[in-house]
Amino acid sequence: MKIVVLDGGTLNPGDLSWDGLTALGDTDLYDRTPPELVIERAKDADVILTNKVVIDRAVMEQLPNLKYISVLATGYNIIDTAFARERGIPVSNIPTYGTQSVAQMVMAHLLNLTQHVAYHAETVANGRWSRSDDWCYWDFPMIELYGLTLGVVGFGRIGRAVAEVGKAFGMKIVAFDEYVQDPGDPDVTMASFEDLLRCADVVTFHTPLTPQTEGMLNAETVKLMKKTAFVINTSRGPVIDNAALADALNAGLIAGAGLDVLDVEPPPIDHPLLKAKNCYITPHISWATRSARARLMQTTVDNVAAFIRGEALNVVN
């Protein structure tokens, strides 16, 4: 069994082991693979593992030995799953590895927006408190989360985990999910997307990228939000119209944003959100705790081992 890992460098920068995978077959490991080298590196592969390297119809047509694709992530929009199904190639993902880590990052962004801990700590380190005439100071409004409304867009595993953390802070929870009518929690109120935007003090996105969700927060829908509201996105960058969000932030239509994803990654240096007012961006790292990556690695090994046994785990097509 020939196994090729096309871009494993972010999953395992050196603190995990590939031994579980290499025990399953002849394995080639690449930290990253540019598009022009995909065919050359994967031409003999029975199994491909990819994180962000695109495997579309044109690629699959040039890989006659390919029998299985395992995505090193939850999202699988980089794969032409329909064509893979036509070819009889199962595609698996990793559905649950990062739930708690992503929920933690949501709250990290929210606490940054409401209390600016790192900013104020930096001013202290630079000597400002030592020079202060008063015993305290703050440069941004200090905002208490208790009693505020957290709007959760997408009420799957991660959305539910975020809601639980929000409840621990005493927040009211409103959720939107076109596939969920009953949240199974008396403390959660389901609402339409538009009604959620109108009532929420914080809107956090946990929805996959589909034609229906792409650009769901845009120049028109953002106008429904409170001027004091915050946007958090740890799902997929294109579910938000990034240019429209930058315009809304700069015009003061909303109060701030905490983003771990953008519509283009890495972003160009002139990306509109990089200079937007009260916008804080992290480089797609909500999934990257060692605990989450270790779970991802183990589930990947389980996926491939199951395929070799003639079974199928976490198949999305």
Amino acid at 267: P
Cβ-in-10-Å burial (0-12, 13-18, 19+) of 142 comes to exposed
Annotate the chain with DSSP letters as a single string: -EEEESS-TTT-SSSS--HHHHTTSEEEE-S---GGGHHHHHTT-SEEEESSS-B-HHHHTT-TT--EEEESSS--TTB-HHHHHHTT--EE---STTHHHHHHHHHHHHHHHHH-HHHHHHHHHTTHHHH-SSS---SS-----TTPEEEEES-SHHHHHHHHHHHHTT-EEEEE-TT-S--S-TTEEE--HHHHHHH-SEEEE-----TTTTT-B-TTGGGGS-TT-EEEE-S-GGGB-HHHHHHHHHTTSSSEEEES--SSSSPPTT-GGGG-TTEEE--S-TT-SHHHHHHHHHHHHHHHHHHHTT---SB--
Of the residues 120, 236, 293, 295, which is catalytic?
236
Q: Per DSSP, what are the bridge partners of residue 70?
A: 49, 92
Q: Is 206 a catalytic residue?
A: no
Of the residues 194, 265, 290, 311, which is catalytic?
265
Q: Is 236 a catalytic residue?
A: yes
Q: Is 265 a catalytic residue?
A: yes
Between CA 43 and CA 64 the distance in angstroms is 8
Q: Which residues does the annotation mark as catalytic?
A: 236, 265, 284
